[in-house]
Structure 1
Amino acid sequence: MSLRMGQSLLEVSLLILAGIFTWTLIEYCLHRFLFHIKTESYWANTAHYLLHGCHHKHPMDGLRLVFPPAAAAVLCFPFFGLAKLLTTATAAPAFFGGGMLGYVMYDCIHYYLHHGNPSSNRAKYLKRYHMNHHFRVQTLGFGITSSLWDVIFGTLPPALKASQKSN
Structure 2
Amino acid sequence: MLERGFERILFACRWLLAPFYAALAIGLVVLLVKLCQEIVHFALHALESNESQTILGVLTLVDLSFTASLLIIVMFSGYENFVSKFDHSNHKDWPEWMGTIDFTGLKLKLMSSIVAISAIQLLKAFMDVKGATDRELGWLVGIHMVFVVSGLLMALTDRMAAGHHDH
Q: TM-score, normalised by structure 2?
A: 0.32
Task: Give TM-score scaled by structure 1 length.
Answer: 0.32
The answer to which structure has the higher helix fraction is 2
Larger radius of gyration: 2
Bigger RCO (CA 8 Å, 6+ sep) = 1
